[in-house]
Each structure stands twice: as C-alpha cells, then as structure tokens.
Amino acid sequence: MRYSVRLMRMEDASQVTDIDREAFPSLWPSASFENELKHNPTTRYLVAREEGVEWPQPQMSTPAVEGGGAAPGSAWRRLYSGVRRLFSPGAPPARGTEHIVGFAGLWFAVDEAHLTTIAVLRRHRRQGIGELLLISAIELAAETGARFVSLEVRASNVEAQALYRKYGLFKTGVRRGYYTDNREDALIMTTDSIASDSYQSQFQQLKRAHAARWGYGTPWG
C-alpha cells in the first residue's frame, strides 16, 4: 500500500471523526471538523489517504474548503498563499471519497504552528503514516512562514515523544493535569527555528530516510 497527504476536504469530515473517536475515545465528543473547516481560518487539517482506494461518494458534494478570506497581516497572507500554492485547493475532489487513514491538525499564530492532534487508524499503524503526517505538518508550517512548531504530548506517551525528539522538538514545559480524562500531565515540546539551515539539513535527511524506507511521498515531493 502507498499513502500520501493532502489538505482535508469537507467530505473527509466523517472519516476523520471516526479516526478521532477511535484514537481518543476518552476525549469524546470529537471536534466539529466541518465547523473548523468552515469557520476557523487559523486551523488547517492534513489527511493521509490510501492511494488507489475509494469509499462510496457521500451525499454532500462540497468542494475543497479554502477557509475563507485571509486575515490581515503578512503572516496570514503567507499562510493562505502557501496553502493554495502547495495543495492546489481550487481543484475539484476526485471521484468517490478516498480512504482516509490518518489526520493531523495545525493551529497557526503569527510565527508558530501548533500541532494540535495527530492520529492514525489502528489497523494502519506502524506503517510510517504518523511520521509522514508529522513531516507534512512541518513542511506546511515552514512553507507558510512559521518559524517554530510546538505541541503537547501525554507524559506517559514515550513512543510519541521519541518521534517528536527525532524531528527536533524538545521539552520546554509541563501543563499539569492537562488531559481531562485522567488529569495526566502534558509535556510541551517545541522546535528551534525550522527555517534555520541546521534544522532544514537534518530534516531533509530524515525525510529522505523515511521515503527510502516506506516509499511514501509528501505534497512537496
């Protein structure tokens, strides 16, 4: 199987909600992804799709969502122009609905991209898809003008922390009792400047290694 990443479309919302509920059952109710796509210009979602597999076409036929007009300020103009250039969001959706196997959410604020969530369907895990989503999120952040990527991760999730450290995120703080299901602490992790030569050199090496192992591409080739 091959997987690739693109921006989330409105017709993906049902599948993404199912993935969200499977990955985070104790945090239900899930986010309203339709509402986020329609009304939140600071948020972007990426989806990992299984190439060559289509789900039946849903009743809705809403085209790719652009998120409305760009907010004022050069940082927001970079965000919107970067998204349009990289993902060609004006193109119509493919026939049928693609099989979505994972997703990631990013919240943009001036020069920071905050990775709000990343999840992969259970039966598709350990196939490099979560790492592919992380790579794509970092690339989208860099291409749209963000200088830093940050996130929260459960203190007990050592596997995820190892992946994030691999991509240059390091612990910068703790949010006590952050998770509502069990009051577990969250570690705050942040990169140094993702625009720096040193970061990009290491990042491109990791990206090539991932592609060599798994054979997956990103929207940037």
How far apart, in Å, do the first and last CA atoms of the chain sit?
18
> Going by C-beta distance under 8 Å and a sequence separation of 6 or more, which residues neighbour residue 102?
19, 47, 48, 118, 119, 120, 121, 124, 129, 130, 133
Report the candidate in 220, 43, 42 with the shortest Cα–Cα distance to residue 142: 220
Catalytic residue among 11, 50, 152, 216: 152
User: Nearest CA to 58 among 8, 12, 89?
Assistant: 12
Known catalytic membership, residue 152? yes
Report how far residue 201's alpha carbon sits from residue 208's, in angstroms, rounded to the nearest whole number: 11
- According to DSSP, the β-strands at 148-154 and 112-120 are parallel
Tell which phi-psi region holds residue 137, choosing left (phi > 0), alpha (psi between -120 and 50) or beta: alpha
List 3, 45, 80, 164, catalytic entry: 164
Return d(Cα 46, Cα 78) in angstroms, integer. Answer: 18
66 has catalytic annotation: no
Residues that are catalytic: 152, 164
